[in-house]
Amino acid sequence: MELAVIQTGGKQYLVSPKTQIKIEKIEGKEKEEVIFDKVLFLARNGEIKIGTPYLENVKVVGEIVKQGKSKKITILKFKRKTRYKKKIGHRQPFTEVKIKEFIVK
């Protein structure tokens, strides 16, 4: 079993080949290849490598499946006795990526 921990968008994700993850929006079109070079951890064929902070010569290759926006969340600000009320909404953009393979040089 192959596992890796990558960092993108200020967050860390545990990935393995042929899995799909939703990450913070990155530039690119659908079916375009993406390379993640900030790999923190790699477990492959019973061998474990841990980076300090990143592993050199290790890359994770993925393919963009979808660019989209998540469900709308509502933010409500309210202060009593002052007649202050504010309602706003937000839809966070995301990129869905399918992990293809790990490249170790």
b (16+ CB within 10 A) / e for 51-85: eeeebeebbbebbbeeeeeeeeeeeeeeeeeeeee
Per residue in 61-102, pLDDT tens? 999 999 999 999 999 999 999 999 999 999 999 999 999 999
**Count of domains observed in the chain:** 1
DSSP-assigned beta bridge partners for residue 2: none
Q: Report the chain's mean pLDDT, rounded to a whole number.
A: 96
Kindly indicate the confidence band of residue 7, based on its pLDDT and cuts at 50, 70 and 90.
very high
pLDDT beyond 90 at 25: yes
* Average confidence (pLDDT) over 41-55: 94
Tokens 């839809």, residue?
Answer: 91
